[in-house]
Amino acid sequence: MMKWPWIFLVACSHSQTPTPTASTSASASVSVPVSSVSVSTSAPDPAPVHLERAFALPKSSDCKETDIRCLLEHAYASDEKSKALALELFDIAGGVAGTDHDFTMEGGFRGTLHITPALPIGDGRAQLERVVAAARDFEAFFAKNKVDPEKYRWRDLTFRFFRSSSGPRNKEVERTTPSAYAIGPRPMPKSIDDDVSFSLAYNLKGSLLTSENGVRETIFHEVFHMNDAAHGDWSPRVLGADYDAIVKKCGAMNVACLTPYAPNDTMVRGGTFYAFEPNNGLPVREYAAELALRWYKEHRAIMRHEQLPTGKAFKCGPPENRRSWDAIVKEFFALDLVPPCP
Ligand SMILES: [Zn+2]
């Protein structure tokens, strides 16, 4: 499997950057709470939503700028099933299912990619179903584990759906990469309540996004990047020394030597673990996102009374694993339910 290796290299100037307004302080809890009725004809009053949350949806003269429900109803008017899913995503997790914008991405060795905005309707609807399933999972997971939303944000996300293609404009070929990217219409978040930056671009044909597991894990990985940035670019500062020592000892391409240190099994095709891919911005950030994903996968397994994903706790590996595990738990999650090491 291959993830897009330039997640932090792409300049984010190609944007319709909205004008930031003075305060985003109310934004962390703006979504409509889960109500006792499911999506229905009796829509609740619009919650006070920050203006910027609407940036990925088409404007409509029928809707107030901040009335996300109204904007969603308009955007999805042609597909009732997708509309219901988009409203459900908003109601359960404050998720806004919008679109990316049209631009040309310089994709390194993948060449030039054309990113086209595309709502998840019609044959793209299955992706919205997976995103809603992921949102339900995260809501249950984080609520049960009482993770502090001021320390780790998993909800009130904006999804910018797109399709990618390459080749001459008159005969473009659809592409399945990048699957998703956290970089967006503004630089990475500087705080946990930065609404425009807590958004991720999502490829309706993404190669990592063909199953509920793949979608959930890809979203988790990307959302960790946003939290990492919101914590002052935490991972290089805190994990950098151990990460560099591992790479120095093993070499970035030595899969056998790196295996005990790799938090997740995602590989770059024909290469190394995604967490250790050298041509990948500041790769310690990828290690951190994969470590966060490992934390989630182990805790999810424990919640579900399943075996740990690899049969072995990450923290019970080499001492570097233990230190990075403890550090990420302390900074973001304040929770370690994995049994002590033997
Ligand atoms: Zn990443």
> For residue 56, what are the contacts with CB-CB under 8 A and spacing of at least 6?
96, 98, 99, 100, 158, 159, 160, 199
Q: What is the pLDDT of residue 108?
A: 63
Question: Ligand 1 center to residue 290 CA distance, Å?
Answer: 8
Q: What is the pLDDT of residue 5?
A: 34
Look at 242 and 42; give whichever has higher pLDDT.
242
Q: Which of 110-114, 161-165, 229-233, 249-253 has the lowest mean pLDDT?
A: 110-114
Q: What tens digit of pLDDT does each residue of 131-160 get?
A: 999 999 999 999 999 999 999 999 999 999
Contact 80, 128 (CB under 8 A): no
Residue with the two structure tokens 């609520």: 143
- pLDDT of 53 > 70? The answer is yes
Question: Ligand 1 center to residue 284 CA distance, Å?
Answer: 10
- pLDDT of 33 > 70? The answer is no
Q: For residue 301, how many other CB atoms are within 10 A of its CB?
A: 14
- Which residues place a Cβ less than 5 A from the ion ligand 1? 7, 286, 289
Question: Ligand 1 center to residue 42 CA distance, Å?
Answer: 40
Query: CA 329 to CA 332: how far, in whole Å?
Result: 6
Look at 16 and 229; give whichever has higher pLDDT.
229
**Across the strands, what pairs with 75?**
none
Peptide bond into 178 cis (omega under 30): yes
What's the mean pLDDT when you consider all of the chain?
A: 85
**Across the strands, what pairs with 79?**
none
Question: Ligand 1 center to residue 116 CA distance, Å?
Answer: 21
Question: Ligand 1 center to residue 256 CA distance, Å?
Answer: 22
Question: Ligand 1 center to residue 314 CA distance, Å?
Answer: 19
E-assigned strand segments in the chain: 96-99, 103-106, 112-117, 158-166, 173-175, 180-181, 199-203
Q: What tens digit of pLDDT does each residue of 190-203 get?
A: 888 887 789 999 99
Q: Give the tokens for residue 193.
A: 């309540």
Radius of gyration for the chain, computed over Cα atoms and rounded to the nearest angstrom: 20
Question: Ligand 1 center to residue 320 CA distance, Å?
Answer: 20
The candidate with the shortest Cα–Cα distance to 53, out of 151, 262, 194, is 194
- pLDDT of 300 > 60? The answer is yes
Question: Ligand 1 center to residue 289 CA distance, Å?
Answer: 6
Question: Ligand 1 center to residue 18 CA distance, Å?
Answer: 25
Question: Ligand 1 center to residue 85 CA distance, Å?
Answer: 27
Q: What is the pLDDT of residue 195?
A: 79
Question: Ligand 1 center to residue 251 CA distance, Å?
Answer: 20
Q: What is the pLDDT of residue 109?
A: 57
Query: CA 43 to CA 302: how far, in whole Å?
Result: 37
Question: Ligand 1 center to residue 174 CA distance, Å?
Answer: 22
The candidate with the shortest Cα–Cα distance to 86, out of 77, 96, 78, 100, is 96
pTM (2 d.p.) = 0.84
Query: CA 207 to CA 220: how far, in whole Å?
Result: 16
- pLDDT of 19 > 50? The answer is no
Q: What tens digit of pLDDT does each residue of 62-106 get?
A: 998 889 999 999 999 999 999 999 999 999 999 999 999 999 988
Question: Ligand 1 center to residue 303 CA distance, Å?
Answer: 25
Q: What is the pLDDT of residue 310?
A: 86
> For residue 127, what are the contacts with CB-CB under 8 A and spacing of at least 6?
120, 161, 202, 204, 209, 215
Question: Ligand 1 center to residue 226 CA distance, Å?
Answer: 10
Question: Ligand 1 center to residue 125 CA distance, Å?
Answer: 25
Name the amino acid, one letter, at 221.
H
Q: What is the pLDDT of residue 50?
A: 62
- Give the pLDDT band of residue 164 (cuts 50, 70, 90): very high
**Considering the chain, what percentage of its residues have pLDDT values greater than 90?**
68
Q: What is the pLDDT of residue 8?
A: 33
Q: What tens digit of pLDDT does each residue of 202-251 get?
A: 999 999 999 999 999 999 999 999 999 999 999 999 999 999 999 999 99
Question: Ligand 1 center to residue 276 CA distance, Å?
Answer: 11
Question: Ligand 1 center to residue 229 CA distance, Å?
Answer: 12
Q: What is the pLDDT of residue 22?
A: 31
